[in-house]
Every structure is written in structure tokens, then in C-alpha cells.
Amino acid sequence: MAGSSGFPSSYDPSKYYDPEIQTVHEPARVIFEEYSKIPNERIVSHINETRKRAFAVTPYPCIGLFRFLELDLHRMSIYPEILERIKSGDKFLDLGCALGQELRHLVYDGAPSTNLYGCDLTPDLFNVGYDLFNDRATLQSQFIISDIFNNNSELVTNFIGHFSIINTMSFFHLFTWNQQIVIAKRIITLLRPQPGSLLVGRQVGKVRHSEGPEPEGSLIGYYHNEESWKSMWRVVGRETRTRWAVDVVGEKWGETASEEILRLVREQGQIKIRFVVRRE
């Protein structure tokens, strides 16, 4: 489990560093071409070079395995609603945004960047993100450096009740059940306290949810399945006296997943969990 204190000493980043890519698939390609205006023949080398820098900042599998090229939010059926709401003024936070690829995709699709926010632990990731997407001079989104567990962070000081939509991709699964409850409660305070406020996202789960500590070196704190995710939100709702409609689906990983992920799918029953949690 990574948490706020960094990576466990038994974590082996080399298992999560794929060989350089040779091609970039849609829709990422069109973003680098049309949004970032990187010349076509430079896109692949630009991404390989920037991935190397980002992995040196923080060696998460999502960076080493190029998962930041697998844009995912637009695959959810709620995406048109999210886009429309941001265009109408709703504020969207990508919590644990790392390089901020989903924010760039939203801007490419017409969302005003002033309504978009990213939050992560270190400004170094935001800086590599600007270089990756070549938008330091144009993107007007705000990047907030905060640890989600810190009660005195910028996020808590300046953004309570500020957002209508929060996105977390590959985030909750880093933390234990108890930590996830703390995070869910924090998210509730960051969202506007009204019906329709939304948490959306995706994370790694398992067909059978976690029953014990994860093996040495794992970054995962707790694997949910659909039932355990709903049950966590029942606890959170009860303890915060709020009501949440939870829509969650477990999916197989796509065939584009890396060898290491496909091994975990085969041997451990890993799945991808997508969720929409809406305040009632």
C-alpha cells in the first residue's frame, strides 16, 4: 500500500516498467496531435521520454505500464453528463490525477479548463504533465498539491464544498478499507452538499474482494468487488448521515493490458471496477 508515506521498501518498480512503446492508439493519439500539437513523427519518442521522467518522479505501475495512455472516463456512460455539467459551470476534480490525462481529454472535448482541477502529492508530476501535453502556457486548470489525509492541506483549506464531480482513477485501491472510508468521507466534504454531486472512477478489484493483507511489495491496500464497494458506501452514508446511489460494475481487463496485469488477472482474478456514486 502506498498511502501518503511513499512506496513499501519491498515494492519492485522494475516489474512495472514496460519496454518503450512503438505506437500510440486512439483516442490518446489525437490528443497529442490536435491538442498538444506534437508533430506526428515525434509523438512516440516524446511519450517514451516523458514516461521515463515521470517514472523517476513516482514509479507507479500506471506510469511505467503507460496506463496514462488508456483514457477511460469517456468510456463510461455518464461521460456526456459530466461534460455537459462542466460546460455549464460545475467544477470537476481529478483526485490523484498524476499526469492529468483525463483533464486534457475533457478540455479536448470542449470542457472549459477553468472548471477543471487536479490534485496530487507532488508538483513534479504536474510539471511532467505540462511537458507531456505541451500546455503549460494554455491550460488554465488549477493543480492542488495535497495529501488527501491531511486535515490542513490546501484542498481542505480552500475547497470544501467546491466540486460537483470528483474523479478517482486507480486511487482508492491503494488504500486499506479503513483508509478508504476516511477518503470517502473527505470526498463528501469536498463535494457540494446537494443531490446530484458525483464521485466517478475506476480501480483495480477482484472477483472475490480482499480478505487479508496483500502480499509483500504490493501497492494495493484493498481490492473491492461490486458488493464490497456498495457495502463500504453504506457504512460511509450511515456514518455521515448522507445518502448515495451506488452504481458499480466489475469488468474484465482489456486485451491491451500489459503482460504483468494479464498474469494477475489469470492468477488472482483481478478485474476493473467502474463506479458512479451519486448523492441523493
Alpha helices in the chain (DSSP H): 28-30, 43-57, 61-64, 79-87, 101-108, 123-133, 154-158, 177-190, 226-240, 259-268
**Minimum distance, C-beta of residue 232 to ligand SAM, in the bound complex (Å):** 18
**Minimum distance, C-beta of residue 100 to ligand SAM, in the bound complex (Å):** 8
On whether the CB atoms of residues 24 and 32 are closer than 8 A, the answer is: yes
Whole-number Å distance between alpha carbons of 7 and 198: 30
Q: Which CB sits closer to ligand SAM, 88 or 189?
A: 189
Per DSSP, the chain holds a count of helices (H) and strands (E) of 10, 7
**Minimum distance, C-beta of residue 170 to ligand SAM, in the bound complex (Å):** 4
Q: Which CB sits closer to ligand SAM, 96 or 237?
A: 96
**Minimum distance, C-beta of residue 134 to ligand SAM, in the bound complex (Å):** 18
Q: Which CB sits closer to ligand SAM, 174 or 265?
A: 174
Please compute, for residue 95, the number of CA atoms within 13 A of its CA located in the half-sphere on the CB side: 30
Whole-number Å distance between alpha carbons of 262 and 259: 5
Q: Which CB sits closer to ligand SAM, 43 or 144?
A: 144
Residue 102: other Cβ atoms inside 10 A: 22
- Kindly report the backbone phi and psi dihedral angles of residue 249, in degrees, each rounded to the nearest multiple of 5, phi listed first: -130, 140
CA-CA distances (angstroms) from residue 132 to 45, 83, 160?
11, 23, 30
Taking CB atoms, the residue at the shortest distance from ligand SAM is 96
Whole-number Å distance between alpha carbons of 224 and 184: 14
Q: Which CB sits closer to ligand SAM, 147 or 154?
A: 147
**Minimum distance, C-beta of residue 276 to ligand SAM, in the bound complex (Å):** 17
Q: Which CB sits closer to ligand SAM, 35 or 68?
A: 68
Q: Which CB sits closer to ligand SAM, 89 or 276?
A: 276
**Minimum distance, C-beta of residue 255 to ligand SAM, in the bound complex (Å):** 19
Q: Which CB sits closer to ligand SAM, 96 or 250?
A: 96
On whether the CB atoms of residues 172 and 140 are closer than 8 A, the answer is: no
List contacts with ligand SAM (CB under 6 A).
Answer: 2, 4, 58, 60, 62, 67-68, 96-98, 120-121, 125, 147-149, 169-171, 174
**Minimum distance, C-beta of residue 41 to ligand SAM, in the bound complex (Å):** 26
Cell 495535497 belongs to which residue? 146
Map residue 279 onto helix, strand or coil.
Answer: strand
**Minimum distance, C-beta of residue 98 to ligand SAM, in the bound complex (Å):** 3
- Kindly report the backbone phi and psi dihedral angles of residue 163, in degrees, each rounded to the nearest multiple of 5, phi listed first: -100, 150
